[in-house]
Amino acid sequence: MDIAKQVFQVHGVDEQGKARVGRQLARGKVLEFFVQLPPCLIGIEACASAHYWGRELTKLGHTVKLMAAQFVIPYRKRGKNDANDAEAICETVGRPNMHFVAIKSEEQQSVLMVHRARTLVVANRTAQVNQ
CA-CA distance, 18 to 45, in Å (whole number)? 21
Alpha carbon distances (Å) from 70 to 2, 20, 46, 73, 86: 14, 26, 10, 6, 14
Profile the chain (131 residues) by mean pLDDT over runs of 10 residues. Answer: 90 83 90 93 90 95 93 84 87 88 92 96 96 90
CA-CA distance, 7 to 19, in Å (whole number)? 20
The reported pTM is 0.80
DSSP-assigned letter for residue 2: B
22 phi, psi to nearest 5 deg: -155, 95
Q: What is the pLDDT of residue 57?
A: 95
Q: What is the pLDDT of residue 41?
A: 92
Q: What is the pLDDT of residue 13?
A: 87
Q: What is the pLDDT of residue 79?
A: 78
Q: Please answer whether residues 56 and 33 qualify as being in contact, where contact means their C-beta atoms are separated by less than 8 angstroms.
A: no
- Specify whether the backbone of 50 is left (phi greater than 0), alpha (psi in -120 to 50) or beta: alpha
The identity of residue 45, as a single letter, is E
CA-CA distance, 11 to 2, in Å (whole number)? 8
